[in-house]
Amino acid sequence: MEMPKLVNEEKRRERIAEAVWNIAADQGLERATIRAVAAECGLSVGSIQHSFRTQEELKRFAMELVVQRVTTRLNDAEGLPVRAGDKTAAIAGLLMETLPLDAEREKEARIWAAFSTAALTDEGLGSYSRQMNSALERFCLRCIRELNGPESPKEDRDIRLEAMHLHGLLDGLALALLTDPSHARRQETKRIVRNFVEQCAKTR
């Protein structure tokens, strides 16, 4: 008989976390006070405090939920493995899905930027930042391995190095897009990703 209550409480916690995300994306994580979060999601301050004892506990849960959802999406990415004829374009498309190339993904990137910046000085958030970094590292390695194929003559260390280069490229492109989300910058970013994938494919 307790299960519905547990489910409802979990949904309420996620709703509150999403309110934190909205504030973090628009105003910065430091503005996500208990009172501001309550106003954002239409709950009382007491209701927020019933689910989260402190503001720090709330921020950590909100960041953990970001990591969980993004990690699940990366792990379940459709298109890996792909058919040989579609490989280069398909992998480039999957990589572009990680970048803020439209309004929805720009908001996600702004949310993550707010949390990852806070994590630089808050060890309680730092572990989640490292989890996200590891998830993207694994995703990049999956993409490079798929691009090269099982019969690639490359040594494993070279494949891992390519994946590291890809990870760094994606991080840099994401930051550039947050700074300049113009149509021209987005188109240039797509060309850069395609070019990287094509160059990797040529050297396999």
Per-position b or e across 47-84, b if 16+ CB within 10 A of its CB: ebeebbeebeebbbbbbbbbbeebbeebeeeebbebee
**Of 94, 93, 200, residue with least CA distance to 147:** 200
pLDDT confidence band for 73 (50 / 70 / 90): confident
Does residue 75 have a pLDDT over 50? yes
pLDDT digits over 148-182, tens only?
Answer: 877 777 788 889 999 999 999 999 999 999 999 99
Torsion of CA 119, 125, 126, 128, to 10 degrees: -120
pLDDT tens-digit series, residues 78-105: 556 555 557 899 899 999 999 999 999 9
Query: pLDDT tens-digit profile of 26-53?
Result: 999 999 999 999 999 999 999 999 999 9
What's the pLDDT tens digit per position in 135-147? 999 999 999 998 8
Query: Distance between terminal CA atoms of the chain?
Result: 58
> What does DSSP assign to residue 29?
G
